Amino acid sequence: MELNDWILAFHLLSAVAMIAAVTLFSVMIAALWRTDDPAAVTSFMRLGLVGNALVIVGSLGTIVFGVWLAISLDAYQLWDGWVIAALVLWALVGAIGKRTGDGYKATSEMAAQLVSAGTPRSPELAAAMGATRAFWMHCLTTVIIFLLLVDMIWKPGA
């Protein structure tokens, strides 16, 4: 096995971590859809932390090992159209994903405060767990990650 094989393996593992994170967050959103129960939301905090860890590992790993691979392999160049498309899509995932995370972080903090205050139900929380801006951002992130995977596999123009 050569160094490039290891780089490709870590790039692939990072990509899987990224898609796994999106799956995990999608499950959380579906499970807590329009819930008004703060305790239910806080019960998922640990799962959310694992999702965040996967996002960090996935996003950093894909870019570091992906760029390394593009430089290291003669078959690829950083200025190839499909590589540039991937870099743009990756940046979009980062920017939109951060907004999604900020939105749900605020909701999770609201739920924690409601639990501390002993509030069993909250219509405000139910609204925040529905079709909010953060939810649509998550949908957009999912679509972009799908496009990233399509770009990585089909490598248009390569």
- Shortest separation between residue 120's beta carbon and another protein, angstroms: 11
- Shortest separation between residue 90's beta carbon and another protein, angstroms: 16
- Shortest separation between residue 70's beta carbon and another protein, angstroms: 11
Closer residue to another protein, CB minimum distance, 23 or 113 = 23
The number of angstroms, rounded, from the C-alpha of 68 to the middle of its chain's C-alpha atoms is 22
The alpha carbons of the chain give a radius of gyration, in whole angstroms, of 18
Closer residue to another protein, CB minimum distance, 133 or 158 = 158
Q: Where along the sequence are the contacts to another protein (CB under 8 A)?
A: 1-2, 4-13, 15-24, 27, 31, 37, 39-40, 42-44, 46-47, 50, 54, 69, 73-76, 115, 146, 149-150, 153-155, 158
Q: Which two tokens stand for residue 110?
A: 């609201």
Q: Which two tokens stand for residue 153?
A: 């596999």
Closer residue to another protein, CB minimum distance, 136 or 146 = 146
Closer residue to another protein, CB minimum distance, 118 or 123 = 118
The number of angstroms, rounded, from the C-alpha of 65 to the middle of its chain's C-alpha atoms is 18
- Shortest separation between residue 109's beta carbon and another protein, angstroms: 16
Burial group, residue 123, by CB count within 10 angstroms (0-12, 13-18, 19+): exposed
Q: Which two tokens stand for residue 129?
A: 């767990």
Q: Which two tokens stand for residue 100?
A: 């999604």
